[in-house]
Amino acid sequence: MLHLVIFIPFLFALIIPLLRTKLSNIHLGWFVLAVPVLLFTYFISFLEKMIQGEKIHSTLNWIPSLDINFVFVIDGLSMLFSLLITGIGSLVVLYSIFYLNKKENLGHFYFYLLLFMGAMLGVVLSDNIFVLYMFWEFTSISSFLLIGFWFHREKSRYGALKSMLITVFGGLALFASFLLMSITTGSTSIREIILNSEAIINSNYFVLILILFLLGAFTKSAQFPFHTWLPDAMEAPTPVSAYLHSATMVKAGIYLVARFFLVFQGEQLFAIIVSVFGIVTLAWGSFMAVRQTDLKGILAFSTISQLGMIMAMLGFGAGYENKVAIVAAVFHIFNHATFKGSLFMVAGIIDHETGTRDIRRLGGLYTFMPITATLAFFGTFSMAGFPLPVFNGFLSKEMFFKAAILDNVLDISILIPILAVIGSIFTFVYSMILFFKPFTGKENMLDRQPHEAPIGLLVSPAILVSFIIIIGLLPNIISEPILAPAVSAINGEIPLINIHFWHGFTNIPIWMSFTVVVIGTLLFRYRDKWTPFYNVFPGRWSAANVYDYLVNNTFTFAKSVTSFFMTGSIRNYLSIILGFLIGTLAVTIYITDGFAVSYDDLAPITWPVAFTGITMVFASIATIFMKNRIAAILVLGVVGYGLSILFVFFKAPDLALTQLIIETVTVALFLLCFYHLPDLTKTKESLSRKTLNIVISLSAGFIVTIIAIASHSFKKFDAISEYFIETSVSLGGGHNIVNVILVDMRGLDTLFEITVLGIAALAIISMIKLRKKEEVDS
């Protein structure tokens, strides 16, 4: 059942094109909404089992020979993320029904959204590392499509490509880490890798495994300095931003670190890297959020900041007795999804009703949009961690402060809390900007008269805000069913969680919160005095500029390299290919000591065989002296047909027939192509070109001869031919071994070869038709 549940979004996505044509008068989102709602209901039915510490397993064999199978597990951590993916997903689909016009390409939108939802569920539920990686890359591809949904906008295309390049780069690093983990532990199961974590810790590849692993996690979760893709991803439609950047994609890296926490727990290097990068990301993201003038831009950098906070907490709890850190991280994952999801939706409502997200043009909206303003109030003040019991963000932020105080990374225990406070101060500042600039103050001139959003747009953020208030007032209602199982899945310990709002004035975190509120209020009040500093720092050394510099120079270098050898000359291309092939094969033979000469089991050479071979040699030499290309091709055909005769002499009639067909087709194709090229008599070559041609020709012939001799004489592995001889009848039901290999043993390979040829044929037909159409139009 679990397998079906995970693949439901993919299966339903395939139905979307059919529904789109049948349901032109009804918003497609109403039918898509059933998918996340049903999935959310399914996952929430396991809460009781999670409380009891049970796990749900499901296995479906895929590639058992490589130990790559669909093994899905529901435990406390995967349950938390599955509820967020499907729960927030349900609200996002409901929101998008009223946000997106039916004139939009809704079929594509919901197709991409369902692909992404299924990919995220695959990531958080997979126990096999390579299946997890497959879904991991699916999230990159589907998010690329979602971010670039409005592909007619240059910024959308830029943001989509940027996110793809950075996250796929991290994904490749993660894949390399998984390969090393699998080799080191001898397993592809996450559970077994955790049990054999000592093998990884004691491995010579430990540092490499860790760095590659964290590269994958940091790029996906927008940790400094890989955060630059996330602000540009705001070009996606607001429902996409609310989904990707509150509960799903950006939290995939957080999930990864949490899932493999037990592998690296206790290792100081892991704790240091995760803590330092997390706390720096918190401070930098919150600092950069203040300078933004777009509502979604502020939310983008606030997401970076909040992700840094969660990552830092995971680092705090990794190598030290800091049990509150993991609880705080899990609690804030939940809280962040509630207030950030609601704020993205509020930003979308403002854009939808006013036509702009620029805070410089917004003001006084509280009068026209009181409900939206109320929702924004609870979202922003919860994100700011304002010390009132109705804001769930304050509770997890207090726990974060406590975890920062207990941390002692590299004996810089003073610096960590200071950075935590600094990051929280700027968090408070941008939260106040996010609320007060649009909703209070002077009414600015807008292109349209603002008014309250329709109820359909308000339902989803209102539900999320209700969670903010309920969890703020009654935080322990989620402690036993959600937080405790998730914490247990991360660090292996079942915690006794009891969250309170007030701990007295002797509690240091409350004074840190008061400091944040006081200094944050002053900075917000007098921001015009100090924000010009942004004109100086970071300046041209911002992460976005560094990214553009690297990518543009990479493309420039690639273009220059390509221009060097892409000259339009077929002869140059063939020379490069043969030169590379000769060098690679020669080096390989030399390194592996692969050349040997053996005269065993050679077939006798008869006069007909010798005559045929001599004829082939003379024909190949004759092509050198031909002055006409067509004559050269026909003479070269003698070599191919002579090879067919040799197959007959050596009792391989099936190979002879195959060679005859191939040679006939090849000669025909060559004649068709070379008919349009000039005669050889019109081609003049310099002495250096002739010398190069001779060297390449002799080298190619020599290396092929060497390989042919070595392949017969040097047997590094047992010949696979014996297997085919023994099993062709029992497995393939045929005595013609070659046919059995092509049809049965390599049936899929043959099928895909035919498919490739078919696709190529369709492409050629399309290009011919396009050319004819252009000729007619001209």
**pLDDT tens for residues 676-721?**
766 666 566 778 888 888 888 888 888 888 888 887 777 767 777 7
Q: What is the pLDDT of residue 322?
A: 67
Q: What phi and psi values does residue 263 have, to the nearest 5 degrees?
A: -70, -40
Q: What is the pLDDT of residue 678?
A: 66
Q: What is the pLDDT of residue 259?
A: 93
Determine the Cα–Cα distance for residues 61 and 530; give it in Å rounded to an integer: 61
Residue with tokens 């036993």: 480
Determine the Cα–Cα distance for residues 136 and 221; give it in Å rounded to an integer: 12
Query: Among 247, 250, 265, 190, which residue's Cα sits nearest to residue 220?
Result: 250
Within the chain, which residues score under 70 in pLDDT? 20-24, 319-322, 407-413, 445, 503-504, 539-541, 675, 677-684, 716, 772-778
Q: What is the pLDDT of residue 383?
A: 92
Helix (H, G, I), strand (E, B) or coil at 715: coil
Residue type for position 757: L
Task: Outline where DSSP puts E strands in 682-762.
Answer: none
What does the H/E/C string look like for 349-414? HHHHHHCCCECCCCCCCCCCCHHHHHHHHHHHHHHHCCCCCCCHHHHHHHHHHHHHHHCCHHHCCC
CA count, 13 A, side-chain hemisphere, 398: 23
Provide CB contacts within 8 A for 42, sequence distance 6+: 5
Determine the Cα–Cα distance for residues 295 and 100; give it in Å rounded to an integer: 19
Determine the Cα–Cα distance for residues 132 and 152; give it in Å rounded to an integer: 33
Q: What is the pLDDT of residue 22?
A: 67
Helix (H, G, I), strand (E, B) or coil at 69: strand
Determine the Cα–Cα distance for residues 422 and 759; give it in Å rounded to an integer: 58
Structure token pair of residue 480: 């036993």
Helix (H, G, I), strand (E, B) or coil at 102: coil
Cis peptide before 538 (omega within 30 of 0): yes
Please tell me what DSSP assigns to residue 584: H
Provide CB contacts within 8 A for 126, sequence distance 6+: 70, 71, 72, 132, 135, 190
Q: What phi and psi values does residue 70 have, to the nearest 5 degrees?
A: -80, 95
Residue type for position 636: L
Determine the Cα–Cα distance for residues 166 and 222; give it in Å rounded to an integer: 9
Structure token pair of residue 131: 């299946």
Q: Which residues pair with 294 in a beta bridge?
A: 358
Residue 80 Cα distances to 251, 331, 369, 480, angstroms: 12, 10, 34, 12
Residue 482 Cα distances to 330, 518, 619, angstroms: 9, 34, 79
Query: Among 343, 322, 640, which residue's Cα sits nearest to residue 487?
Result: 322
Provide CB contacts within 8 A for 55, sequence distance 6+: 73, 74, 75
Structure token pair of residue 455: 């109820």
Kindly state the helix (H) or strand (E) to which residue 58 belongs, with its residue range.
strand 56-63
Q: What is the pLDDT of residue 132?
A: 94
Say if residues 576 and 694 touch (Cβ distance below 8 Å).
no
Determine the Cα–Cα distance for residues 131 and 142; give it in Å rounded to an integer: 16
Determine the Cα–Cα distance for residues 770 and 761; give it in Å rounded to an integer: 14
Determine the Cα–Cα distance for residues 13 and 107; give it in Å rounded to an integer: 9
Q: What is the pLDDT of residue 411?
A: 55
Q: What is the pLDDT of residue 449?
A: 79
